[in-house]
Structure 1
């Protein structure tokens, strides 16, 4: 049976400190909410979530990361908008089951939306154990 999904089969996690540094240097000037999101993960869920960056996008999964996939991933992507002052964020869940979800919201709603995704998909709340 072939699963129709974009779930990853490998996840090249790096430390949250490396991610925070990269966001500060490259992403925060264009999407400051990404720094807020990573700060929240670092203080309340770094032991339960792993991440890596692809250009300006952040990929997050649960720990421990399986050695063989597929691996559910939540992607957080700053989105260019029609207005130069808009900073929409796209959050996508790439599921191992093929039931992918995606929602775009204005930046002020992105952190709450991310935690909604982690709760609905993985049962993870900030500062609460699985």
Structure 2
């Protein structure tokens, strides 16, 4: 989708950052009308909270030219921040760390393996 519609690239960047960091073992994701919905693993029978990364054309869009990331909670203490797409990945991790207490596992990069 992002290859055809570059406005979706920040969603790919977020997914890539989860996979590259090894956090795919800690987070589960799905899409809903292009929005990216993320919950901590293991996923129980009932989901009580989730982080939603709103896509262009979302039913709950942010301001034009901005990415909206929301924490949706069964307690009603929802949180929402809009930022430029260039800040999507750090903003996503801020939400994951603050809301779920999950930090991505540290993985050595390729240059570390050659030392």
What is the TM-score of this pair, normalised by structure 1?
Answer: 0.68
Partner of 1:39 in structure 2? 16
Secondary structure in 1 matching 2:80? strand
- Which of residues 99, 105, 112 in structure 1 aligns to 2:90? 112
Aligned-residue RMSD, C-alpha: 2.0
Measure the CA separation in 1 of the matches of 2:89 and 2:41.
20
Q: How many residues align?
A: 100
Greater RCO (CA < 8 Å, at least 6 residues apart): 1
- Which of residues 74, 79, 82 in structure 2 aligns to 1:101? 79
2:51 counterpart of 1:74 = yes
**Can you give the 5+ residue segments of structure 2 that lack an aligned partner in the other structure?**
58-62, 107-115
